[in-house]
Amino acid sequence: MNVPMAPALFIDNVSLFYGEKLALDKVSFTVSRGECVILLGPNGAGKSSLFSLITRLYDTREGAIEIAGFNLKRHSTKALGRLGVVFQQSTLDMDLSVERNLLYHADLHGLGRKLANTRICEELERQAMFERRHETVRQLNGGHRRRVEIARALLHKPDVLLLDEPTVGLDMPSRKAIVDYVHQLSTTQNIAVLWATHLVDEIFATDQLIILHKGIIRYQGSVQQLLETTAMPSVASAFQHLTKGEK
């Protein structure tokens, strides 16, 4: 049961230090259901650090994070149960089959075997991976592994889907397929999507945008507003302008 009217993801004044080094400085934003928010930032901007906080790999010491209305610190299990994650680095077990990887995830989320099997069929069919469910992950190429990871992240029907640079290392057709699919997801399944990337060509005109640089949010708003505010002809040049030439 979700907390009524709460945003799917609420980040409030979150800061993170690695020793003396400031990685995130008072970061605040929300992501609503049905919305696709692109977290754009050059390498080292703090995107992965923010994801580590949202997934509670690190504890939030300053600020607060709520997922579907549940405070991540106080109600971590409820909050994490509403989160689907695709990490930058593959987290699939290479020696297990696609199906076995998904069953493992279903077990960790407490899904019964019957429901899990139904959802696995649904998600793999959507990703055109059903026929390959018995193959080990090692046998799949990078694009197909990513599809399996997205299917896995959606298995428990999360409110929020986090994707941390999911297209890194993929060829153009695979990248396009994933970008299109995830953008569709936010509207067709009413999921809040937070997509971290440093590639401006993954942004749709309808997306909300957060530009993060050196742990500070430099811009928040729509693509259109960004172009108007910065008076730049493209997102790429606006991004370059805001991050002072650093890509």
Partner 1 sequence: MNPLHALRALRGVVTRELLRFVHQRERFVSALVRPLVWLFIFAAGFRSTLGLSPTPPYETYILYEDYITPGLVGMIQLFNGMQSSLSMVYDREMGNMRTLLVSPLPRWFLLVAKLLAGTLVSVLQAYAFLLVAWFYDVRAPIEGYLTLLPALVLAGLMLGALGLLLSSFIEQLENFAGVMNFVIFPMFFLSTALYPLWKLQESSQLLPVLAQYNPFSQAVELIRFALYGQFNAYACAYTLASLALFLSAAVIGYNPSKGMMQKKGGKQ
For partner 1, the binding residues (CB under 8 A) are 18-19, 23, 52, 55-59, 61, 76-81, 83, 85, 87, 89-93, 95-96, 100, 103-112
Q: Compare residues 94 and 128 and give the one whose CB is closer to partner 1.
A: 94
Question: Closest by alpha carbon to 105, among 119, 88, 125, 95?
Answer: 119
Write down the least CB distance from residue 80 to partner 1, Å: 4
Residues 6+ apart with CB under 8 A from 47: 39, 41, 164, 165, 196, 198, 212
- Phi, psi dihedral angles at 87 (to 5 degrees): -80, 160
Q: Compare residues 93 and 180 and give the one whose CB is closer to partner 1.
A: 93
Write down the least CB distance from residue 57 to partner 1, Å: 5
The one-letter amino acid code at 167 reads T
Q: Compare residues 59 and 125 and give the one whose CB is closer to partner 1.
A: 59
Task: Give the C-alpha distances (Å, rounded to integers) separating 19 from 16, 22, 61, 225.
Answer: 9, 8, 13, 36
Write down the least CB distance from residue 23 to partner 1, Å: 8
CB 29 within 8 A of CB 11: yes
Task: Give the C-alpha distances (Å, rounded to integers) separating 205 from 93, 178, 222, 234.
Answer: 36, 17, 8, 11
Write down the least CB distance from residue 14 to partner 1, Å: 14
Determine what percent of the chain falls in helix, strand and coil, rounding each to the nearest 5. Answer: 40, 25, 35
Q: Compare residues 97 and 230 and give the one whose CB is closer to partner 1.
A: 97
Write down the least CB distance from residue 55 to partner 1, Å: 5
Q: Compare residues 137 and 200 and give the one whose CB is closer to partner 1.
A: 137
Q: Compare residues 26 and 100 and give the one whose CB is closer to partner 1.
A: 100
Coil, helix or strand for 190? coil
Write down the least CB distance from residue 70 to partner 1, Å: 10
